[in-house]
């Protein structure tokens, strides 16, 4: 039997959209949604206990799965914070405290979700901050919203959650493999050869590296990336490629330099190291 969820009709917002997406992703993928503000109907479902009432109804009672935050008696905030909960944060905390999140996410990933998504949605919905991606979900609204276009935006939110979970997982893995990389010149150059996905952000965050060298197996090339804003390839290299770039740089195996100066592609590891050291010597 599908999990029944009640939320308000009319225009929809990121908080109830993501609250329902979280239920679908981490509680039950089979959901039935009803959108209404009918007071008589809401009074009945608020007492059910087996129906989720999200962002409507005027009651926060997690033991009955009622998750509204608009009533003037509500003042619940994130721990050691001035951030008021929205329906998104309330549902998240229910799923967390009842063990549903830990079945799928590590403590690191749960923390990343809270800091990079859930709290930001709560701030946005309570008018205390801006969560820029909310515009993507707001654009699903129409003059007369149907359940069909509401479920479309919920599906988009589910994909957002899934993509976020994937990236948080790879971030955690990349941080655990920092000691697997090679570091040269007092750590200013990092050489990454383990083929990890999206590894550079963890190197930037956790090491003093200014230039990162990464082997791209799918291209069989080496990428030299300037990872600090004050570091870049020489002006004379920018926008050049092939033999012309080799002549100007004096380094063999050059493929191209991005016109912005943040990226150089080469054909082999030795050339990549030579490029990195040239960049640092001219910084």
Q: What are the two backbone dihedrals, phi and then psi, of residue 38, each rounded to the nearest 5 degrees?
A: -65, 115
* Prediction pTM value: 0.88
Task: State the average pLDDT over residues 246-272.
Answer: 98
In whole angstroms, what is the distance from residue 90 CA to residue 76 CA? 9
| 8 Å CB contact between 265 and 256 | yes
In whole angstroms, what is the distance from residue 51 CA to residue 9 CA? 17
Task: Please state whether beta strands 189-192 and 3-7 pair in parallel, antiparallel, or not at all (unpaired).
Answer: unpaired
> pLDDT for 217-246, tens place per residue?
889 999 999 999 999 999 999 999 999 999
Q: What secondary structure letter does DSSP report for 203?
A: H
Looking at 27-86, list the stretches that DSSP marks H as alpha helix, in order from N- to C-terminal side: 39-45
Q: What are the two backbone dihedrals, phi and then psi, of residue 204, each rounded to the nearest 5 degrees?
A: -65, -45
> pLDDT for 68-85, tens place per residue?
999 999 999 999 999 999
- pLDDT band for position 212 (cuts 50, 70, 90): very high
> pLDDT for 18-70, tens place per residue?
999 999 999 999 999 999 999 999 999 999 999 999 999 999 999 999 999 99
pLDDT of residue 237: 98
In whole angstroms, what is the distance from residue 51 CA to residue 53 CA? 6
Task: Please state whether beta strands 66-67 and 60-61 pair in parallel, antiparallel, or not at all (unpaired).
Answer: antiparallel
pLDDT over threshold 90, residue 196: no
Q: Which helix (DSSP H) or strand (DSSP E) does residue 278 occupy?
A: helix 269-281
% of the chain exceeding 70 in pLDDT: 100
The gap from C-alpha 213 to its chain's centroid, in whole angstroms, comes to 25
Structure-token pair, residue 108: 């690191």
> pLDDT for 90-126, tens place per residue?
999 999 999 999 999 999 999 999 999 999 999 999 9
In whole angstroms, what is the distance from residue 185 CA to residue 208 CA? 11
Q: What are the two backbone dihedrals, phi and then psi, of residue 60, each rounded to the nearest 5 degrees?
A: -110, 105
> Which positions ≥6 away from 22 have C-beta within 8 Å?
88, 91, 92, 95, 161
Instruction: Tell which residue, 182, 190, 191, has the closest CA to residue 209.
Output: 190
């Amino acid at each position: 039997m599908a999990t029944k969820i009640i939320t308000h009709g009319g225009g929809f917002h990121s908080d109830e959209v993501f609250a329902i997406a979280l239920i679908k992703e981490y509680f039950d993928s089979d959901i039935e949604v009803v959108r209404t503000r009918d007071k008589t109907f809401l009074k009945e479902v608020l007492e059910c206990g087996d129906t989720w009432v999200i962002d409507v109804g005027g009651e926060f009672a997690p033991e009955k799965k009622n998750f509204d935050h608009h009533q003037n008696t509500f003042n619940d905030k994130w721990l050691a914070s001035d951030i008021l909960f929205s329906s998104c944060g309330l549902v998240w905390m229910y799923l967390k405290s009842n063990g549903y999140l830990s079945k799928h996410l590590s403590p690191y990933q749960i923390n990343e979700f809270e800091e990079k998504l859930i709290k930001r949605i709560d701030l946005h919905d309570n008018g205390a901050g801006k969560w820029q991606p909310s515009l993507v979900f707001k654009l699903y609204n129409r003059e007369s919203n149907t359940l069909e276009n509401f479920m479309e935006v919920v599906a988009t939110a589910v994909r957002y959650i899934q993509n976020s979970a994937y990236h948080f997982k790879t971030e955690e893995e990349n941080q655990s493999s920092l000691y697997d990389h090679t570091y040269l010149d007092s750590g200013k150059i990092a050489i990454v050869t383990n083929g990890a996905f999206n590894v550079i952000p963890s190197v930037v965050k956790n090491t003093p590296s200014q230039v990162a060298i990464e082997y791209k197996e799918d291209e069989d090339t080496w990428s030299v990336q300037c990872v600090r804003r004050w570091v870049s390839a020489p002006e004379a290299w920018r926008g050049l490629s092939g033999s012309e770039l080799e002549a100007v740089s004096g380094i063999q195996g050059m493929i191209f330099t991005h016109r912005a100066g943040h990226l150089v592609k080469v054909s082999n590891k030795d050339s990549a190291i030579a490029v990195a050291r040239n960049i640092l010597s001219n910084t």
